[in-house]
Structure 1
Amino acid sequence: GCTDIIGGHKVRPHSWPYMAAIQDKHLDVFCGGALVEKQWVLTAAHCEINQSEDRVVLGAHRASIAEKEQQIFKVMGCFQHRRFNLHTLDNDIMLLKLNDTAKLNKYVKLLPLPDSFEDVEPHTVCKVAGWGRTAKSSGKPSECLKEATLKIVDRKCCDKKYGNVHRITNNMLCAIGKNKIHPSDASLGDSGGPLICAGQYRGIVSFGEECGKRDIPGVYTRLMKQYVDWIKETISSN
């Protein structure tokens, strides 16, 4: 699956203070996430974590460079949703327990989970951010955090676009770049990063077709009540 922000723009440094960068041993960001409790990051279940090598960076703007605002952690535990299906990518949601608690400040903040669960209507404007690749041909991650503006797409239309490749379930949201003229804007954040709609945490970047491909929406795990209950339960029992 291709999930990178293409055609996004650099964010004001630290304007997404709940954003987590998940890095491999080469310090490449391969997934994003959101800090939901002081010791817990919410991401996508398909992000394969190597607990002995990977690290989670909070408070980053340029994730691959040491910045004084950064807080760096190891992953102590990975909790995939028990019904995650790697083939269909349904229930693509996972919690990471950090090896220490984050110190909250103006650079590192919690992202509140939603407290209302109505569906996100088509045409709702949303934002996504990440350090993913920034041009179709370049495999290089972006140095700075970037964001893109998207709008929600009707689930039935989205399901048709994916045809037999993927079923779009009620547990998913679809969104596409707002800028029709530059299809490159029609792309997604790093896998696992948060989808913010009308100021609320509504989804997790899950999958997409070829990056920035015209008219193919990106797909997000929808933060429904069943998931929020699972998050609270997992955190309280671990």
Structure 2
Amino acid sequence: MYYISHILTILGFIFCIRVDSQLLHNTRVVGGAPTTIDKYPILAQLLLDTWGNQTYEQHCAGVILTSRHVISTAHCFQNNEQSSKDYTQPRYWKIRVGSTYRSRGGIIHSIKTIIPHHAFDKYFYTNDIAVLVVSKSFVFGSNIRQGTVIRHGVEVKPNSICTLLGWGSKQVDGPRLEQLQHASLYVIDQKVCASRYGTIKAVIADTMMCAGELNVAGVDACFGDSGGPLIYKGLVVGLVSFGYSCGHHYYPGVYTKISRYTDWIVRTVSNNK
């Protein structure tokens, strides 16, 4: 998953959001263990050319939907003040599929189109989802496969055990690791999550879901994980969106709730070949 070290002032409070920016520290899922892409072949890496010099590095993650489409989070694709680059433009991105490792292997594809949700809010991270269209079709095999998203309107119950995937940091400003990580965590009750984030004036909308382990510091997504999947019983139910720090005991990770966007995903894929 992917988080950025981006500090936003929200209603007078300082809220540390894990989203994608350009100067990020990418390592692994907090509390995770090494795994391999053949176990999770639906996963894609989003590689960013931060400075426009054709040097692409893993920055976000995503899920393969069809032979031409990937879903990720909209916050990955923003204008960036530090680099003065517009990361909404496909030329700054490539997609690597079929590799266990952050910086080698697999097959790299160019991106044709980036379609963020039209109602994405960069301050509160509502509607944090995007569809990407690749220039050349993926060739499916043991390490590259289509993911299956949860049906529209279906809710995953609190305390359900999900799997988190990514190449993100083990801790804030932690060392970089190469291998894909996975970890198990619990779905957190929506009202409990909203109440906790309400203490820092952050919004937990109905289109979001939370996962982690309350009152225990540990398993979470971190820098480099944004856009990656939260999986329940083989279905993609969430995408890494934001959170307070990484592995915080009080604030669980926040994910885009896929079941609220299934219809939007289908329409967007159908209209963007």
Displacement of 1:137: 3.6
Moved over 4 A (4+): none
The one-letter code matched in structure 2 to 1:219 is V
Counterpart residue type for residue 149 of structure 1? S
Q: Is the 8 A contact 2:109 2:136 kept in 1?
A: yes
Is this contact kept in 2: 1:208–1:219, CA < 8 A?
A: yes
| Structure 1 unaligned spans of 5+ | none
Corresponding residue for residue 77 of structure 1: 113
Which of 227, 232, 238 is the matching residue for 1:197?
232
Structure 2 counterpart of 1:154: 189
Asked if residue 215 in structure 1 is aligned to residue 239 in structure 2, the reply is: no
1:168 lines up with 2:207 in the alignment? no
Give the superposition deviation at 1:235.
1.3
Q: TM-score, normalised by structure 2?
A: 0.79
Contact kept? 1:178, 1:186, Cα under 8 Å: no
The answer to whether the 8 A contact 1:7-1:135 is kept is: no
Root mean square deviation of aligned Cα: 1.9
**1:53 maps onto 2:86 in alignment:** no
Equivalences for residues 40-189 of structure 1 within 5 A: 40-48=69-77, 49=87, 50-65=89-104, 67=105, 70-115=106-151, 117-138=153-174, 140-163=175-198, 164-177=200-213, 180=216, 183-187=217-221
Q: Match for residue 24 of structure 2?
A: none
Q: Specify the SS of the correspondent of 1:162.
A: helix
Query: 1:177–1:9: structure 2 CA closer, same or farther, 3 Å change rule?
Result: farther
Unpaired runs of at least 5, structure 2: 1-16, 20-27, 50-54, 78-86
Give the structure-1-normalised TM-score: 0.90
Secondary structure of 1:235's partner?
helix
Task: Provide the secondary structure at the position in 2 that maps to 1:97.
Answer: strand
- CA offset digits 1:64-94 (Å, max 9, x no partner): 02x2xx1211111010111111111111000
Deviation at 1:116, TM superposition (A): 5.4
Q: Is 1:39 aligned to 2:68, yes or no? A: yes
Q: Does 1:15 align with 2:49?
A: no
SS at match of 2:163: strand
CA distance in 1, matches of 2:171, 2:245: 12
Task: Look up the equivalent residue of 1:18 and give its one-letter code.
Answer: I
Contact 2:171 2:246 in 1 (8 A): no
Q: Which residue of 2 aligns with 1:231?
A: 265
Secondary structure in 2 matching 1:173: strand
Query: What is the distance in 2 between the residues matched to 1:47 and 1:122?
Result: 28
Aligned pairs, number: 231
CA distance in 2, matches of 1:156, 1:99: 42
Letter in 2 for 1:235: V
Partners of 1:78 and 1:96 within 8 A in 2: yes
Contact 2:149 2:262 in 1 (8 A): yes
Q: Name the CA distance, whole Å, in 2 between partners of 1:105 and 1:111.
A: 13
Q: Which amino acid aligns with 1:36?
A: L
How far does residue 212 in structure 1 lie from its aligned partner after superposition? 1.3
CA contact (8 A) 1:174 1:217 kept: yes
- Whether the 8 Å contact between 1:44 and 1:205 is mirrored in structure 2 is yes
What is the CA-CA distance between 1:186 and the residue it aligns to?
3.8
